[in-house]
Structures are given as C-alpha cells and as structure tokens.
Amino acid sequence: MDYFLFLLDILKKKQVYGVILVIAFSFLIYKFLLSVVKKIVIKGKTPIEIKRRKTIQILFENIILYVIFIIAILIILEIYGVDTKSLIASLGVAGVVLGLALQDTVKDIISGITIIMENYFVVGDYVTFGDFTGEIISLGLKSTKIKSINGDVLIIANRNISNIINQSQKLAGVIIDVPTAYEEKTEKVEKVLKEAIEQIKLIEGVSKESTYLGINELGSSAVNYRIKIVCRQGRKYDIKYESLKIIKQAYDKNKLKIPYEQIEVHNGKDI
C-alpha cells in the first residue's frame, strides 16, 4: 500500500505527469498529421505521379517529426523551469554561427527540397549523372543515392546535383536485331516476328507502340530483322531478356534458322 501511495505521489508531480502528457500528445499529433499528409499527398494516376507524391510524403513526415520533437523538448524544458525564451534567444545567436559553419549542409537541404518540389526525380527513377547511370534508391534532404545495374552506389550531395538526365519520365526504346538465315522466306520471318511482338506486348511495362521495323542489314552470313520494343525505363533490361526468349521460342516452333558464324575452306585447285 505504501509503495502504491509513493508511486501515486510521484505521478502527481508536474515534472512527471506533464512530461508523460507532452510525449503522448506529441505522438498523437504526429500520427494524426501523418494520416492527413498521406490522404492529401498520395494521389496520382500514373506511376511517375505516385512515386513523386510518395517522395513528398516522406519529406513532410521528416519535417513534421523534427518540428514536433523540437516543440515537445521546449515544452518539457518549460515544465522543469527552464527559461526557454532566453534559451531560444541564445540559440538564435548560436544558430547564426552554426549556420555559417554548416553552409554546405544548408545548401544540401535547400537543394533537396527543390529537387522534390520541382519534380527533378523521385525514388525509383532511372537517371544519368555524368557517366553514371542507375536507379534512385534514396532521396534525402542532404544527399541522393544512385544504384547502377552492377550494384555500384553513387552518393551525391544534393548541392552538387546539376545537369542530371531523368530517363524515367519517358519510355525507353529497346532495339533488337534478329539474325536469320538467308534461305528463310522473308514473308514467313516477318509473320513470325510480328506474332512474337504481340506476345512481347503482354509483358508488364511494354507499350503497345512496340513494332517490327523491317530488314536492317544484309550481313555476311545472315539477314538482320529489326524490332523496336517501347517499355518502362526501369524494366528495359528484364524486358529485353524476356523478349529474346520469346523470339527464340518462336523461331524454334516455326523451324527458322538463326545462323552462327562458319568458315568455309576451299581447295585452291577446285576454285
């Protein structure tokens, strides 16, 4: 009983129940604001719009978290009798000094907000920065991470991002040349390729604009028939592999020959 009364006396203290109420109230406000932001921001008809709005949501979530955390700390300090007004005034002077020391960080944050709000790119986009091409895997207020198809990750400070090419805001064009033996009838080859393209169009991310272009080259040992596959930038490599498989199966089914390089040796006396 004495223990219970002792605990009750502790909880009655302003420094205890006040802190608990501030933390609980801050948590509820944070969750409420997150739900509001999610309802307002996460809307979009195209994959690009959805990715952009998701990135904006993450940005606002971070801002809300920091703001609520700072306000909660100030209220808790006030509960413990700290003169927060003087503290804020002192921080204002210190902030100027700190701001000068952290100019690059401030530039990164401003650039990060600009990138998101101006829709330069979002997480999931494929971009080219200098000689490096890859997928945006992280977009923060300070830095951006790009991952290449080889798994290399390039980390760029947001203030240094300029002249970046966003490839995801347009569809990719994948060109495939299909070498075919000269003895195969052109009409038959074109018919098979057009049927294969219709199957390729069923692959996720492939546009209906994909088409057969025609004979591209009369090579030394084969006729090269060219097709163009229009698809989402992020899946162009996977789609190319799947398309080649479909074409190979179509050729096998229709007994069309894909020649390989051969060397014919002639006896000079017989030429």
pLDDT in tens, 159-193: 888 778 877 767 778 899 999 999 999 999 999 99
CA dist 195 and 209 (Å) reads 14
Q: Cβ(153)–Cβ(147) under 8 Å?
A: yes
pLDDT band for position 15 (cuts 50, 70, 90) = low
Say if strands 165-166 and 153-157 run parallel, antiparallel, or are unpaired: unpaired
pLDDT given for residue 190 in this prediction: 94
pLDDT given for residue 200 in this prediction: 92
Average pLDDT on 34-47 reads 66
pLDDT given for residue 117 in this prediction: 67
Least confident of 35-49, 76-90, 216-230: 35-49
Percent of the chain whose pLDDT exceeds 70: 72
Question: pLDDT at residue 98 above 60?
Answer: no
Higher pLDDT, 62 or 191: 191
**CATH number for the domain running over 118-166:** 2.30.30.60
The most confident of 33-47, 65-79, 148-162, 213-227, by mean pLDDT: 213-227
> Cα Rg for the chain, rounded, in angstroms?
31
Least confident of 17-21, 61-65, 71-75, 263-267: 263-267
What does the block give as tokens for 128?
């080219």
Average pLDDT on 66-83 reads 79
Higher pLDDT, 14 or 20: 20
pLDDT given for residue 142 in this prediction: 77
Average pLDDT on 118-141 reads 79
The most confident of 31-40, 41-50, 63-72, 93-102, by mean pLDDT: 63-72
**CATH number for the domain running over 172-253:** 3.30.70.100
Does this model's pTM top 0.75?
no
pLDDT given for residue 65 in this prediction: 82
pLDDT given for residue 250 in this prediction: 94
Question: pLDDT at residue 261 above 80?
Answer: no
CA dist 67 and 78 (Å) reads 17
pLDDT given for residue 212 in this prediction: 92
pLDDT given for residue 84 in this prediction: 67
Question: pLDDT at residue 157 above 80?
Answer: yes
Domain(s) labelled CATH 3.30.70.100 in the chain stretch across 172-253
Question: pLDDT at residue 45 above 80?
Answer: no
Average pLDDT on 62-77 reads 81
Mean of the per-residue pLDDT values for the chain?
78
Domain(s) labelled CATH 2.30.30.60 in the chain stretch across 118-166
pLDDT given for residue 228 in this prediction: 93
